[in-house]
Each structure stands twice: as C-alpha cells, then as structure tokens.
Amino acid sequence: MRFKLDENLPHELADDIVRLGHEADTVHGEGLIGAEDAVVVQAARASVRILMTLDKGIASLLQYPVYEHGGVILFRPDVSGRRAVLSFVRERLENLMGMELAGRLTVVGPTRIRVRKRESS
C-alpha cells in the first residue's frame, strides 16, 4: 500500500511504514506544509495514496465523501504531544497494515477502529 502522512503526524512514521513493506511520503516532503485540506486530499488522491492524519476536518464525510479520495486514516488518540501520538500510532500500525484501507475512512481510536466504505452503486 501507498501512504501520505499529513503534517500533523511525526515524520518518523514514514520510516515505520516502509519497514513494514509499504510506501510512504509526507506532506512536509512535498512542500505542502500549511496547505489547505483540499490541496492535501487532492495530492494524496493524485498520487494514489492513503492519507494518514490527525485532522478531523479531512475526515469529514460531508466535505470529503469516501468516493472522492483514495482512503483516509484518522487517528484519534486520547493523549497529546508528539511522543504520545507517535507511540499511539506505532502501537496500532502493524494491525492497520493488515486491513483493507483503500477507498475507506478508517477512524483509529484508543479502543477500537471504525471503517466507512464506499457505497456501492
């Protein structure tokens, strides 16, 4: 799978994803720091990548319906701070890599993972 990390996630996660056998790039690496959410979502879609973020706005189904992106993973830790977020994501990363993530909104909370799929037509 191919991933794009939003600027609000620690960049070291890209290396973790690569070690798990997947591709990863970052919003920072593309020079998109501070870009509007729509620009970030479009960049992920254009490069056929699943976007990982802490931004609830990007996970808005009204603003960004599931069929309009390649997939979004929204992390919802119950902790704050860079180190705590890094630990939260790392603890769940391997499990996530075994899931079908493309074309879905996946919300990763402290105790469960919820998934919204594309509606079939």
- Cα gap 74→69, rounded to integer Å: 13
**Cβ within 8 Å of residue 111, ≥6 positions away:** none
Question: What per-residue confidence (pLDDT) applies to 67?
Answer: 77
Each residue's pLDDT tens digit, 5-14: 999 999 999 9
The predicted pLDDT at position 37 comes to 92
Query: What residue segments make up the domains of the chain, in order of their start?
Result: 2-117
Identify the residue with better confidence: 80 or 16: 16
**Tens digits of per-residue pLDDT, 64-115?**
888 778 899 999 999 889 999 999 999 999 999 999 999 899 999 999 999 9
- pTM passes above 0.85: yes
Q: DSSP string of 72-90?
A: EEEE--S--SHHHHHHHHH
Q: In what order do the strands lie in the sheet with 50-53?
A: 23-26, 2-5, 50-53, 72-75, 104-108, 113-117
Instruction: For 43-71, write each residue's pLDDT tens digit.
Output: 999 999 999 999 999 888 888 888 778 89
pLDDT of residue 120 exceeding 60: no
pLDDT reading at 118 higher than 80: no
